Amino acid sequence: MTSVILFCALAWSLLGGFGALRGRTPDARPLVYGASFIVAAIASGAAILQLAFGATSGTAVVLPLGLPHLGMNFQMTGLSAAFLIITDVGAATASLYAVGYGRGEPEAWRVLPFFPLFIAAMNMVLIAADAYDFLIFWELMSLSSWALVVAHHEDEEARASGVVYLVMASSGTLALLLAFGLLAGVHGQYDFASIRAAHPGSWVGAVVMLLALFGAGSKAGLVPLHIWLPRAHPAAPSHVSALMSGVMTKVAVYAFVLIVFDFLGKPAWWWGLIVLIMGGITAVLGVLYALMEHDLKRLLAYHTVENIGIIFIGLGLALAFRAERLDVCAALALAAAVFHAFNHSLFKNLLFLGSGAVLARTGERDMERLGGLLRRMPQTGLLFLIGSVAISGLPPLNGFASEWMLFQAILLSPRLSAWSLKLAVPSVGAMLALAAALSAACFVKVFGITFLGRPRSPAASAATETDAFSRAGMIGLAALCVVVGLAPGMVIDLFAPVTRSLLGARLPAGHGMSWLTVVPVSLSRSSYNPLSIFALIAAGAGFAAVILHRYGSRIICRAPPWGCGYTSPEDATAASPSLSTQYSASGFAQPIRRVFGSFVFNARDQVTMPMPGDVAPAHLISALIDPVWQCCYAPLLVLVGWAADRMNRLQFLTIRRYLTIVFITLVVLLVWVAPWG
């Protein structure tokens, strides 16, 4: 099955080449995206087959390229197969969507060469079986996605995002490079089999863990390394945003799991603590950022930060349990993390594709200028609603299933013996609960402001339903959200090889009807049967609807609402003040901004009211300060600027001075070598 993925990657690369050569012809776009969809479907099928029926690890393939004596090693393990499913399901739906969406894309030839290359690079990272290939394709993934971010390079903001993205991606790759260098040891054994066999010392292991946390965390978007993510993800075309947010962040999660769980052996107790705390902070800060944001795509990108936090909470728990040899508990936490990664890839792709449909039909990303789209784009609206329910963690959809499993793992924390963990895990659990609740509030805002109410701009009132291919892509994702939500046991069983190969343990299989009921630990402790919950919800909602329509609908009468004195409520023009009297996104977020924003973001609302009798408009200005930027990056920028000013003098030396510097460096190095040899 490894070779199937290799052939698929080759096919994508050829498609990229085709896109580069023939990108300007009108037929190229549907051809590239359509073929990319077919290849992704084949690849995800291969990964599912490998995971369901294959051995734990696929056959190793060695190509006679790359470094001498090393070659290019590829192997599909259980872990990589799980993440290949995430990647290729996302790639298939995004490609299908793009067949329709790309029609309205200006300058499609800037996207066509890099889109298949990006997918190919992610696939190759997942099946790479030596450090050299891993880093090469990791960098290819970063660079091709960078090219996609700056596809709209006329936009000043997109260019700035590109720079920030490039800097963060390079420093992350540097950290991973150092981590693999330490793992390879003094003999430079870069293939994963030798890295697995060699167990590094405790200090080396700790440094590698921290480097992996930095390298993978900067790609995944862990706070405080997330700053590029909400800038770069929305700047790309929407189907690329979906891939970057839904899929590429998962490749980063894969890198972390691979290094820390597969290569490093037994963790120290404090590793889990660090990852847990970073995950908790990321989850809460991510959703708070999202609540303050009114740009639809940027809001979704902040929710990616939040969900990465949730996934890292699971990984941190798994590390903590593993350090104390509670392998079954660790398996539960890790399974919950991987399952949530899969779920997040489904609903985040769905939401980004939905926002792309809205953007394509209205030209607006600012929620304050949308509204009333459910009447104009009913199918997109319904699909977006499914995604919103799933990301909010409401039963019976998939987001609930994985977050519920994560809470079950948190409830096992009394089994831990370290006191700091005993104290930290429940508080991280509280942060997780807070993040889940706030994200539900956030999606009430998103859906309510964007799809309900009346349109807030002429563009929104003129919107029409999106095309069939776009809808097909979204319908596929929404159907998967529902199916996975109703039968989570099926997916958990499918992903069981991950925990079995990494931890030697798996969840207790269900009792006879495993795919209907999830039993994380034991039946007496807790179980979750989504079908019965779904039946309950359906019955309750149906009953309420029947009651309402039977007894309530007759006394409804339509009347114009009170419009604050404005008399033309149906006048849908931008100039009409009546449209801005609707509930706005910032109005919805204001209570939360007051509670959390005042101390996290130092948020200040400034209201200027005209004097009584004056007809001038009132103004509300709310100012936010990004704490992460303020604490971490602003001082760093000052430091870099200072150092650059000092180093600038090096550029204006005489030739003899340069020679002297070279000479002194050489002598110092020799002096260094002399006593250490």
Partner 1 sequence: MMVTLVNSIFGPNGALSLAHALSGALVLVSFMMLYQDRLSAVINVLALHSAVLGLAVAWQAWIQAEPQLYITAVIALGFKAMIIPLALHRIVRRLNIHREVEAAVGIGLTMLAGMGLVALSLVVMLHTAAHSAVLAREDVALALATILLGMLMMIARRNAVSQIAGFMSLENGLILAAAGAEGMPLVVEISVTFSIVIAFIVIGVFLFRIRERFDTIDSTALDAFRGELQ
The residue range among 36-44, 474-482, 594-602, 668-676 that interacts with partner 1, by the rule CB under 8 A, is 668-676
Q: How far, in Å, CA of 161 to CA of 624, rounded?
A: 20
Q: How far, in Å, CA of 298 to CA of 304, rounded?
A: 10
647 binds partner 1 (CB under 8 A): no
The residue range among 159-167, 256-264, 346-354, 657-665 that interacts with partner 1, by the rule CB under 8 A, is 657-665
Are 569 and 582 in contact by the 8 Å Cβ rule? The answer is no
CA angle in degrees (0–180, nearest 5) for 357-450-238: 30
Q: In this complex, which beta carbon is closest to partner 1, that of residue 325 or of residue 656?
A: 656
For residue 641, the minimal CB distance to partner 1 (Å) is 22
For residue 296, the minimal CB distance to partner 1 (Å) is 52
For residue 664, the minimal CB distance to partner 1 (Å) is 9
Q: What is the DSSP letter of 629?
A: I
- Member of 52, 67, 639, 662 binding partner 1 (CB under 8 A): 662
Q: In this complex, which beta carbon is closest to partner 1, that of residue 512 or of residue 677?
A: 677
Applying CB under 8 A, the site for partner 1 has a residue count of 17
Residue 103 corresponds to which tokens in the numbers above?
């029609």
Q: How far, in Å, CA of 527 to CA of 341, rounded?
A: 21
- Member of 186, 575, 621, 674 binding partner 1 (CB under 8 A): 674
Three-state secondary structure call for residue 396: coil
Print the SS3 string covering 45-107. HHHHHHHHHCCCCCCCEEECCCCCCCCEEECCCHHHHHHHHHHHHHHHHHHHHHHHHHHHCCC
Q: In this complex, which beta carbon is closest to partner 1, that of residue 69 or of residue 656?
A: 656
554 binds partner 1 (CB under 8 A): no
For residue 651, the minimal CB distance to partner 1 (Å) is 9
Q: In this complex, which beta carbon is closest to partner 1, that of residue 629 or of residue 672?
A: 672
For residue 656, the minimal CB distance to partner 1 (Å) is 6
666 binds partner 1 (CB under 8 A): yes
Residue 127 corresponds to which tokens in the numbers above?
């099946």
Beta-strand pair 604-608/61-63: unpaired
For residue 646, the minimal CB distance to partner 1 (Å) is 15
- Member of 26, 68, 414, 677 binding partner 1 (CB under 8 A): 677
- Member of 553, 567, 606, 654 binding partner 1 (CB under 8 A): 654
- Member of 53, 551, 599, 676 binding partner 1 (CB under 8 A): 676
522 binds partner 1 (CB under 8 A): no
For residue 652, the minimal CB distance to partner 1 (Å) is 4
For residue 181, the minimal CB distance to partner 1 (Å) is 22
The residue range among 183-191, 254-262, 310-318, 661-669 that interacts with partner 1, by the rule CB under 8 A, is 661-669
Three-state secondary structure call for residue 332: helix
Which residues inside 21-50 make contact with partner 1, applying CB under 8 A? none
The residue range among 81-89, 154-162, 393-401, 653-661 that interacts with partner 1, by the rule CB under 8 A, is 653-661
Are 148 and 112 in contact by the 8 Å Cβ rule? The answer is no
- Member of 10, 67, 640, 667 binding partner 1 (CB under 8 A): 667
Q: In this complex, which beta carbon is closest to partner 1, that of residue 615 or of residue 673?
A: 673
Alpha carbon distances (Å) from 589 to 390, 616, 632: 21, 25, 26
Residue 85 corresponds to which tokens in the numbers above?
């499913």
186 binds partner 1 (CB under 8 A): no
Q: In this complex, which beta carbon is closest to partner 1, that of residue 550 or of residue 656?
A: 656
Residue with structure tokens 């091709």? Answer: 144
Give the list of residues 6+ apart from residue 419 with CB closer than 8 angstroms, or none: none
Q: In this complex, which beta carbon is closest to partner 1, that of residue 558 or of residue 656?
A: 656
For residue 671, the minimal CB distance to partner 1 (Å) is 7
The residue range among 309-317, 539-547, 592-600, 656-664 that interacts with partner 1, by the rule CB under 8 A, is 656-664
Residue 30 preceded by cis peptide, ω within 30: no
Residue 521 corresponds to which tokens in the numbers above?
């630990």
For residue 642, the minimal CB distance to partner 1 (Å) is 21
Q: In this complex, which beta carbon is closest to partner 1, that of residue 201 or of residue 677?
A: 677
Beta-strand pair 72-74/61-63: antiparallel
The residue range among 200-208, 474-482, 491-499, 666-674 that interacts with partner 1, by the rule CB under 8 A, is 666-674
Q: How many helical (H) and strand (E) elements, i.e. helices and strands, does the chain have?
A: 28, 4
Q: In this complex, which beta carbon is closest to partner 1, that of residue 630 or of residue 665?
A: 665
Q: How far, in Å, CA of 511 to CA of 531, rounded?
A: 16
659 binds partner 1 (CB under 8 A): yes
Q: Which residues pair with 623 in a beta bridge?
A: 604
For residue 318, the minimal CB distance to partner 1 (Å) is 46
Are 97 and 469 in contact by the 8 Å Cβ rule? The answer is yes
Are 530 and 108 in contact by the 8 Å Cβ rule? The answer is no
Q: How far, in Å, CA of 368 to CA of 351, rounded?
A: 18
The residue range among 212-220, 273-281, 470-478, 655-663 that interacts with partner 1, by the rule CB under 8 A, is 655-663
Q: In this complex, which beta carbon is closest to partner 1, that of residue 559 or of residue 673?
A: 673
Q: Minimal CA–CA distance to 274: which of 499, 424, 426?
A: 424
For residue 520, the minimal CB distance to partner 1 (Å) is 59
Residue 398 corresponds to which tokens in the numbers above?
């998939």
For residue 186, the minimal CB distance to partner 1 (Å) is 16
Are 446 and 338 in contact by the 8 Å Cβ rule? The answer is no
For residue 668, the minimal CB distance to partner 1 (Å) is 10
How would you classify residue 457: left for phi > 0, otherwise alpha for psi between -120 and 50, otherwise beta? beta
673 binds partner 1 (CB under 8 A): yes
Residue 492 corresponds to which tokens in the numbers above?
């958990």
Q: In this complex, which beta carbon is closest to partner 1, that of residue 568 or of residue 660?
A: 660
Q: Minimal CA–CA distance to 299: which of 447, 432, 190?
A: 447
For residue 670, the minimal CB distance to partner 1 (Å) is 5
For residue 65, the minimal CB distance to partner 1 (Å) is 26
Q: In this complex, which beta carbon is closest to partner 1, that of residue 543 or of residue 672?
A: 672
Q: How far, in Å, CA of 77 to CA of 257, rounded?
A: 13
CA angle in degrees (0–180, nearest 5) for 304-488-392: 35
Strands annotated E in 521-575 = none
Q: How far, in Å, CA of 227 to CA of 331, rounded?
A: 31
| Footprint on this chain of partner 1 (rule: CB under 8 A) | 652, 654-656, 659-660, 662-663, 666-667, 670-671, 673-677
